[in-house]
Amino acid sequence: MKMHPNLYIAALGVLTCTLGTNAVQTSRYDEHPQTVRVFYFGNSLTASSMPALHEELGKSAGKKWICDAFLGPGWQSWQHRNELFRALGWAVEAKTQEALKRGELTVDKPISKSAAYKAQVFLNGQWDAIVIQIFGSRLRYVTDNMWGQKFDGPIDIGDVEAASDIIRIFLKKNPNGRVFIYTVWPPMPAGKVPPDDQLPQWAIAMKKRFGQIREAEFPDRERFDYEKVWSSPYLGDHEKPWTLADYPHWRTRDYAERVFEGIKENFPELWASGRLHHLPAGELFLRLNKKMESGEFPGIKTIKDFYTDVQHIRAGAPSYSIAALFYTGLFRERPDKLDYRIYNEQARYGEDPHHDFGEVIEITPERAKVIHDTIWELLRTHPQANLRL
């Protein structure tokens, strides 16, 4: 996955925590915090929310939104987990997972100086919350290698246990912390690259800079049915899941909710205390799409217009919608006070050589209201949001 270099530099991690009493935690997390220190684990689909703007965005609503992020290009949860294990001097193998699950490991020893910078930031910091982006293709899958990386032994790289390992480390240092599982939208199928004389200016610049343009830069918008793909079933934890269907069945509602249920099963007290939450961006886009199709989102008729390439989303309204989703979950209030105009400024997105953000889709007062209403409706009614709004 591509990612803007400035966003990648501005992104890497810190951890914490163990569980306190449910009574204290339930009382605390029914409140509306004024300050939140949050750490994000993800890739460019977390970067789509522009974490570098979150502090300013929060300030516009009278909040302190302090954040940092570990955003590896195309990274899945297991890659973040592996970096944390290495930073703590732990072997990347199932024995470590089991010892961590039993509560036998501590995180109070010095962090490896050779560890990734953001892993050090996360492990050395104190955080009120973490956001873990889900981007894998299996619920559970044990192997001793992946994508050319050799591990110390077999280990589960599925999204359920990889995310759970991150949560366990977080809770070791931040026992009262909140955990947000962020799930994303399905990608479009790739189309065809137009002839050179039909390329848009951004594509000409990209080809000149990189020598080629991938078909993924030109999604087949006509062939893509958002609701059909999002509503499709998960087909199982196979060795090569991408060969099972003509749609990415791990980027669906079914998969997203299965991942969350697996994590919830691992942390029943965290769920019961109101500190484990699902931020379902894919579901948000489905609801926005329905409003677009019914003419309720002025000037935009389909969620497909939110995409730049097969999976990245545009600057402006698309990017802001994810930031506002995060804000609503973290601060437990409607995002109406946010100054969305910050996200209308093209220059804020920096150099965009891969056209990940593309051109701004302007956020108007009318569009902002639809975004805010839809987020509020979603997080108040989604059975896994657990926000008690």
Q: How many CB atoms lie within 10 A of CB 133?
A: 27
At 133, phi and psi to the nearest 5?
Answer: -80, 135
Instruction: Give the mean model confidence (pLDDT) for residues 8-25.
Output: 36
pLDDT of residue 26: 43
Could you tell me the fold of the domain covering 5-188+224-381?
Answer: Rossmann fold (3.40.50)
Mean pLDDT of the chain: 93
Contact criterion met (CB below 8 Å) for 19 and 59: no
Is the pTM value of this prediction over 0.85?
A: yes
Residue 62 pLDDT > 70, yes or no? yes
Instruction: Give the mean model confidence (pLDDT) for residues 342-367.
Output: 97
Tokens of 322: 């994810």
pLDDT of residue 182: 99
CA-to-CA separations, 114 to 73, 107, 125, 300, in angstroms, rounded: 20, 16, 17, 48
pLDDT of residue 15: 31
82-141 per-position pLDDT tens digit: 999 999 999 999 999 999 999 999 998 899 989 999 999 999 999 999 999 999 999 999
Residue 25 pLDDT > 90, yes or no? no
Q: Which residue intervals of the chain bear CATH 3.40.50.1110? A: 5-188+224-381
pLDDT of residue 20: 35
Residue 19 pLDDT > 60, yes or no? no
pLDDT of residue 18: 31
Residue 27 pLDDT > 80, yes or no? no
User: How far apart are alpha carbons 23 and 145 in whole angstroms?
Assistant: 42
Instruction: Give the mean model confidence (pLDDT) for residues 271-285.
Output: 98
Tokens of 182: 């962020």
Residue 181 pLDDT > 50, yes or no? yes
The greatest distance separating any two alpha carbons of the chain, rounded to the nearest whole angstrom, comes to 66
pLDDT of residue 29: 65
User: How far apart are alpha carbons 234 and 45 in whole angstroms?
Assistant: 21
pLDDT of residue 28: 54
CA-to-CA separations, 274 to 94, 381, 388, in angstroms, rounded: 29, 15, 8
Instruction: Give the mean model confidence (pLDDT) for residues 189-211.
Output: 96
